[in-house]
């Protein structure tokens, strides 16, 4: 009988050159996270365990690739920059559950799937930023304030259907119900200074250039802009606001990981996920990308510490995820884009 290993070690009949294959002890990762962010973690993991990590990076399309490859996919893990692709992969049946005491201890319950299909590895706050020159930051305390008439023609955001905006809108639905959330998003739309466009950095640039006065961004982009000579002036033009400190707390999102349904190297892949929740890996996340570690006792970077402590929304992301479909429909209903 021809074994799987023998098939993978097949030899090209025409050239008699062995086809290179991935070792059975390797872990193969499909990653939406850029290499410079994760390679230091993979390198540390290999040094500690001897297990090599191979990664494929793409800005989009990896969930679709997993779906097309099915059980024949070489991927062991799906690594994401946001919770959205994790939910999508789970819904499509592309993941499998993990039961791990290490992950349960290291990762707070609100940042992992109750069924064990996905795990948050780092978190970021969904901030409000406002022009230092043109806005009194004390007048903005909550996400809900962005719908107030006093901020007419002052707000700029990404598309209402971008995964970051969808996550925030879903959280508003989770806390207030669909009717009130729709009224909120309609109010924000009415306060837009321009058509939704660009990424989070583009919103801060627009504030610095006077196109708008207020925006919603992920916290780590402030760190990234301060580290970029051209973009420092953008970041320095705004005040940071952690919303909803007197009530539910600031909305948090995650980068995360799932074990694929057909993982060829399941045990090694789980070891890598557990390592990524460890003190060593969490510190790399914190220092490299200005993110918040999900492991509670790991220190924030000095820059992130300088922004101050804040209250976070403790509603589990799994609960918020139930409203993502409605959040997308809501953007259409109000004609947000």
- Which tokens belong to 53? 């990590």
pLDDT of residue 34: 87
Same domain, 231 and 273: no
Give the domain CATH number at 148.
Answer: 3.40.190.10
CA atoms 129, 134, 138, 142: torsion sign: negative
Query: What DSSP letter does each residue of 174-201 carry, written as one string?
Result: HHH-HHHHHHHHHHHHHTBSS---S-HH
Q: Examine residue 306 and state whether it is found in any structural domain, yes or no.
A: no
Let me know whether 71 and 206 are in one domain: no
Chain centroid, CA 101 distance in Å: 23
Q: Residue 18: its pLDDT value, please? A: 32
Same domain, 277 and 190: no
Q: What is the pLDDT of residue 13?
A: 32
In a domain, 256, yes or no: yes
Statement to judge: residues 135 and 260 lie in one domain: no
Q: CA 292, CA 124: separation in Å to the nearest integer?
A: 6
User: Quick one: 149 and 294 in the same domain?
Assistant: no
Q: Give dist(CA 329, CA 145) in Å, integer.
A: 22
The dihedral region occupied by 198, where left means phi > 0, alpha psi between -120 and 50, and beta the remainder, is left
**What integer pLDDT is reported at residue 71 of this predicted model?**
85
Q: Which domain holds residue 118?
A: 25-123+252-298
Q: How many angstroms separate the CA atoms of 260 and 317, rounded?
A: 20
Same domain (yes/no): 244, 284 = no
The answer to whether residue 138 sits within a structural domain is yes
Q: Is the residue at 285 inside a domain?
A: yes
Mean pLDDT in runs of 10 for the chain (337 residues)?
Answer: 35 32 72 90 95 94 95 95 92 96 97 97 97 97 98 98 96 98 98 97 98 98 96 98 98 97 96 97 92 96 97 96 96 97
Assigned domain for 152 exists? yes
Which residues are CB-neighbours of 30 under 8 A, at least 6 positions away? 55, 56, 58, 62, 65, 66, 75, 77, 78, 79, 260
Residue 205 sits in the same domain as residue 329 = yes
In whole angstroms, give the CA distance from residue 80 to residue 287: 18
CB 219 within 8 A of CB 228: no
Q: What's residue 6's pLDDT?
A: 36
User: Where do runs of H (alpha helix) occur along the chain?
Assistant: 4-8, 35-49, 62-69, 83-91, 101-106, 163-176, 178-190, 200-208, 220-226, 232-235, 266-276, 279-289, 302-306, 317-321, 324-333
Residue 4 domain flag: no
Residue 185 CB partners (closer than 8 Å, separation 6+): 147, 160, 169, 172, 330, 331, 334, 336
The answer to the question of residue 309 being in a domain is: no
Tokens found for residue 170: 């879903």
| pLDDT (0 to 100) of residue 25 | 67
User: How far is residue 332's CA from residue 238's CA, in Å, rounded to a whole number?
Assistant: 30
User: Do 50 and 140 lie in a common domain?
Assistant: no
How many domains does the chain contain in total?
Answer: 2
Greatest distance between any 2 Cα atoms in the chain:
75
Given the DSSP bridges, would you call strands 77-80 and 27-31 parallel, antiparallel or unpaired? parallel
Q: Judge whether 13 lies within some domain.
A: no
Of the candidates 82, 54, 79, 51, the one whose C-alpha atom is nearest the C-alpha of residue 66 is 79
Sequence-distant (6+) residues with CB within 8 A of 251 are 125, 126, 143, 167, 168, 171, 243, 244, 313
Q: Give exposure, 265-282, as e/b (b: 16+ Cβ within 10 Å).
A: beebbbbbbbbbbbeebb
Q: What is the pLDDT of residue 5?
A: 37
pTM of the complete model: 0.88
Q: Is the same domain home to 326 and 185?
A: yes
- The per-residue pLDDT for 149 is 97
Contacts of residue 13, Cβ cutoff 8 Å, sequence gap at least 6: none
At residue 36, the pLDDT reads 83
**pLDDT tens, position by position, 56-89:** 999 899 999 999 999 899 999 999 998 999 999 9
Whether residue 88 sits in one domain with residue 75: yes
Residues 73 and 29 in one domain: yes
> Does residue 228 share a domain with residue 133?
yes
DSSP for 212-281 reads -SEEEEETHHHHHHHTSTTTHHHHTTEEEE---TTTT-B-EEEEEEEEETT-TTHHHHHHHHHHHTSHHH
């Amino acid at each position: 009988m021809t074994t799987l290993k023998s098939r993978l070690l097949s030899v090209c009949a025409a050239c008699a050159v062995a086809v290179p294959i991935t070792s059975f002890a390797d872990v193969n990762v499909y990653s939406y996270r850029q290499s410079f962010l994760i390679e230091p973690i993979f390198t540390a993991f290999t040094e500690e365990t001897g297990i090599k990590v191979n990664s494929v990076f793409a800005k989009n399309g990896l969930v679709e690739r997993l779906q097309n490859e099915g059980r024949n996919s070489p991927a062991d893990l799906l690594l994401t920059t946001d919770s959205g692709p994790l939910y999508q992969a789970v819904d499509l049946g592309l993941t499998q559950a993990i039961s791990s005491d290490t992950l349960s201890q290291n990762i707070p319950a609100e940042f992992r799937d109750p069924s064990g299909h996905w795990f948050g590895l780092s978190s970021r706050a969904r901030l409000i930023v406002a022009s230092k020159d043109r806005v009194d930051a004390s007048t903005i305390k909550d996400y809900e304030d962005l719908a107030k008439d006093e901020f007419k023609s002052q707000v700029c955001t990404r598309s209402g259907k971008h995964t970051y905006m969808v996550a925030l809108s879903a959280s508003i639905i989770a806390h207030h119900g669909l009717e009130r959330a729709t009224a909120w998003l309609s109010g924000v739309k009415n306060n837009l200074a321009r058509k939704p466009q660009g990424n989070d950095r583009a919103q801060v640039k627009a504030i610095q250039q006077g196109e708008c006065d207020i925006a919603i961004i992920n916290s780590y982009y402030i760190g990234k802009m301060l580290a970029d000579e051209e973009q420092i002036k953008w970041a320095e033009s705004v005040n940071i606001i952690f919303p909803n400190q007197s009530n539910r707390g600031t909305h948090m999102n995650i980068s995360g990981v799932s074990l694929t349904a057909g993982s060829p190297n399941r045990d090694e892949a789980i070891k890598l996920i557990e390592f990524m929740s460890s003190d060593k890996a969490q510190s790399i996340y914190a220092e490299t990308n200005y993110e918040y570690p999900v492991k509670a006792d790991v220190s924030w970077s000095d820059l992130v510490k300088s922004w101050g402590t804040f209250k976070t929304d403790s509603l589990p992301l799994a609960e918020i995820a139930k409203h993502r479909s409605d959040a997308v429909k809501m953007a259409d209903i109000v004609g947000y884009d």
